[in-house]
Amino acid sequence: MTGTKPVVIVTRKLPDVIETRMMELFDVRLNLDDEPFTAERMAAAMQEADVLVPTVTDRIDGKILAAAGDRLRLIASFGTGVDHIDLAAARARGITVTNTPGVLTEDTADMTMALILAVPRRLVAGERLMRTGQWRGWSPTSMLGNRIHGKRLGIIGMGRIGQAVARRARGFGLSIHYHNRRPVHAETEAELEATFWDNLDQMLSRMDIISINCPHTPATYHLISPRRLALIQPHAFIVNTSRGEVIDENALVRVLQNREIAGAGLDVFEHEPQVNPKLLGLDNVVLMPHMGSATIEGRIDMGQKVIINIRTFGDNHTPPDRVIETMY
Ligand code: 8YV
């Protein structure tokens, strides 16, 4: 790629400053109308591009990768999660994959904390009451939710985002518990006064609020299975800002319908952009349209990371955010 400008195909509309910079640096094909790529358009892009810049809304599976053109050398994904890309198939084709970690940690943790507050304190139900003109004034027993302070938060996945959630949650008086593949560094654990649970089942059965902050991988697919949902206490809440696939969504709907758990705050869904219609009918859930990292600052930072990854790769160096399968 050195010498000539690489052909970079971007599958979705990105912030203007990022698109402008990409036009200066690359032979870039932008998607200004932001229509998600059809299968045909994606197949053509895989043939024409030196670099593909997809997002979470593109499924880059083994079949698509097998049909990629010889010139495609880099998939510089715009986002942190890489579960939409078949990493093994990319490696087999000699295609490098990069992502944009680190720059959406704080925004996603903010959204997680917002849901941790919104569901037990019934923020959305209260707002709806106002807008529908049904509020009859203050009453000692109306709109009662549940206290946050003093409760136990169980974080599943104590990576960057999980730790950022823990920092915020401590400010709200929650005690921090976590399940992770391995314990975090002792200093971090001490700073967060966090309790490590090697056994996820045991942690689930003792928490008041559960937050999903692990990536979606083959090992975490339906990690929150019907059996595990049954371990959660009826007064407990669950919040997911990671990936819908980590929870068995049908089973979640059932426990919510039967009030076997108290409520859920969901920013992600198993079959996005489809949302299980039964979730829409429940009053003990808060639903968000996958907007955990949706800040203009975050999107610009993500775009800048994409550009740095493409340029470093073009200079024949290992890009800073190269994704290796064994990371997941
Ligand atoms: C991004 C996300 O907006 O980065 C991720 O993994 O889930 C989102 O917050 C999305 O992935 C962009 O591709």
Per the annotation, the verdict on 19 as an active-site residue is no
Does the pLDDT at position 119 exceed 80? yes
- Structural domain contains residue 320: no
- pLDDT surpassing 80 at residue 225: yes
Domain hosting 156: range is: 105-287
Per-residue model confidence (pLDDT) at position 3: 64
Instruction: Among 80, 246, 295, name the best residue to mutate to test ligand 1's pocket (greatest count of ligand atoms within 8 A of Cβ).
Output: 80
How many structural domains compose the chain?
Answer: 2
Residues 140 and 59 grouped into a single domain: no
Which mutation among 104, 105, 241 tests ligand 1's pocket best, with the greatest number of atoms within 8 A of CB? Answer: 104
Tell me the per-residue pLDDT of 9-48, one tens digit each, with 9 for 90 and over. Answer: 999 999 999 999 999 999 999 999 999 999 999 999 999 9
Active-site annotation holds for 249: no
The three state secondary structure string of the chain is: CCCCCCEEEECCCCCHHHHHHHHHHCEEECCCCCCCCCHHHHHHHHHHCCEEECCCCCCECHHHHHCCCCCCCEEECCCCCCCCECHHHHHHCCCEEECCCCCCHHHHHHHHHHHHHHCCCCHHHHHHHHHCCCCCCCCCCCCCCCCCCCCEEEEECCCHHHHHHHHHHHHCCCEEEEECCCCCCHHHHHHHCEEECCCHHHHHCCCCEEEECCCCCCCCCCCECHHHHCCCCCCCEEEECCCHHHECHHHHHHHHHCCCCCEEEECCCCECCECCHHHHCCCCEEECCCCCCCCHHHHHHHHHHHHHHHHHHHCCCCCCCECCHHHC
Query: Based on the domain organization, do 308 and 278 belong to the same domain?
Result: no
Whether 326 has a pLDDT exceeding 80, the answer reads: no
User: Is 263 inside a domain boundary?
Assistant: yes
Check if 290 is active-site. Answer: yes
pLDDT per residue as tens digits for the range 249-302: 999 999 999 999 999 999 999 999 999 999 999 999 999 999 999 999 999 999
Q: Based on the fold, state whether residues 135 and 270 are members of the same structural domain.
A: yes
Q: What does the pLDDT look like over 231-251, one tens digit per residue?
A: 999 999 999 999 999 999 999
| 193 and 46 together in one domain | no
37 and 132 housed in the same domain: no
79 and 119 in one domain? no
Tell me, what CATH number does 174's domain have? 3.40.50.720
